[in-house]
Structure 1
Amino acid sequence: MTVLQIVTGILGSGKTTLVRHLIEGPAESKVGVVVGEFADDGFDGDMIKASGGIVRQICATGRGDDAKSYLEPTRAFVEEGKVGRVIVETSGVTEIAQVATDLRDDPVIGSRAVLGPTIVVLDAGAFTAHDTHFAPQLWAQLDVADIVAINKTDKAHNDSLETIRRRVAGRNPEAKALFCYMGQIHRPTALSIPYEGFTPRAFRARWEGALPAEFEAFVYRTSRVCYDRVLFGHRLLNLPGGRIARFKGVLRCWDGPRSVNGLPGQLDWENTPVEGDTRIAFIGIGMDGREAEITEILDAELERQRHDVGA
């Protein structure tokens, strides 16, 4: 039987890093990963491939009739029978209960797969910001968690970590909270099925309030070259208006393309090999109508840098 698990969490919480940690374990030589991207361009699949995962990536996921389904690529992994585990890493804005229902009701998956615990990843350093600006999205995910990975513990004080743990327990007392740094969750706990006949909470719990507001996204694209990524990063961190949950992608720098990932107040330059021109996905609430403004700001910064170096 194939073991099937859902890994989710709000945008930028470290889902992909955690998934890479899980599949790099010595006992996980054959793992299929279905990677969902909310934007129309994908960046995380290549990172998982680099860790040895067999990846099927889908873009433009989300909610509603236009959202692409996780069912078909998941069923393909299970039906082929070439991997012992399938991890479904959702885009972070997906309605998890709907994904769980689709998977549960599929006859192929139902007869050939056993369900592992649903893992929800939190960013400890950004928890307050997420709770302030994206609370419906955050808590809708925590409602269906079997395991909560409180990630990026280096970005929060011990008192804050304990506060997060208490709040999670108050909302979902069934969930097991695990602290981790850089996605280094305890593998045996994360990958094991707790007991015979276990049914993930995502298949039992339902979000009882109104559905959280839908996220919006666009991809900033340019062939311009960045000559000072520190100043460009400053622009990314200080874009005006709206609620940006995450930005991630590729920045074409003078010394080669760089992988960029962050949210307001937090910017990471990753070591993942990337190539091509600049393409950065912006995801958040109230993003519709802001593409032209953000594009103008970033274009102006790159043009200023080009002028300064005389290129």
Structure 2
Amino acid sequence: MMEALRSMAVFAAVIEQGSMNAAGRALGMTASAVSQHVRLLEQQHQVALLHRTTRKLTLTEAGSVFYRSCAAMLAAAREASVQMAALRDEPVGELRIAAPSGFAGGVLGQALAPLLAANPGLSLRLFFQDEMIDLVQHRIDLALRAGNQSDSTLVARHLADWPFVLVAAPSYLAARGEPQQPGQLYQHDWIGLEQDHGLTPLRLQREGDVEVLRLQCRIASNSMLSARAFALDGMGISMQPAPEVAGELAAGRLQRVLPEWQAPALPVYAVTPRRDVLPAKVRHAMAFLQQKFTRG
């Protein structure tokens, strides 16, 4: 089949160039090799495609019909090449991004809005879930993942280290009081991130002092957004990514708890399946994400 397609391309070149010699020069072949391709086509289809004279070549009726199909095949191949080049060089098509639910709070939108505005041929499809998603199976172009990455089938690029802060609604702190030391968190309602009601380890550091607490969850969730919503509703204290709650803190809807104590920063990575060449849409998206995560 591949040889037949090659012969069709050679035949189309003969017609477009006007002679076998010219077709040979255009294709980097000898005229005899070009002639051989045409003879193979005629033998295969049991019909003459060209009238040959010493002065010129003219199409037979069958040759004219066959040439239209050959030309359409080449046009489709050229169009495919143009589309592949566009995917390589320009951010076009559907960009599929997976991320934990905690990133649904606005950071992704803020990072990628300029990319979408500048590229009308690009669309965005987001998958927010805290469970690990198979990038290949779900045709994910790019995933955001937190924590150290060890999957050798993926390529991970470090974006930033996100600081975490303890927060609560002003109404909760007004009713229950503000803890002054980490140990006082045991006296408060803790909104933890897990799927059961087990103990949640919390490590806090202030200069040379380190406190490791195992807090009993009053509310446990596997969703960062859900935990944030409960905190906003005055249901307890939660640990949240600082960039994701900056707006709530500035507006006074949330308040820092133990601001002089620091929780460990969490490394955030952009993860892609292993590919020799990334499409332009992925390269550009990673650049915009890197800029957003670096500047905050």
TM-based fold match above 0.5: no
TM-score, scaled relative to structure 2: 0.25
Q: Who wins on radius of gyration, i.e. which is larger?
A: 2
Q: Which has the higher contact order (CA 8 A, sep 6+)?
A: 2
Larger % of helix: which? Answer: 2
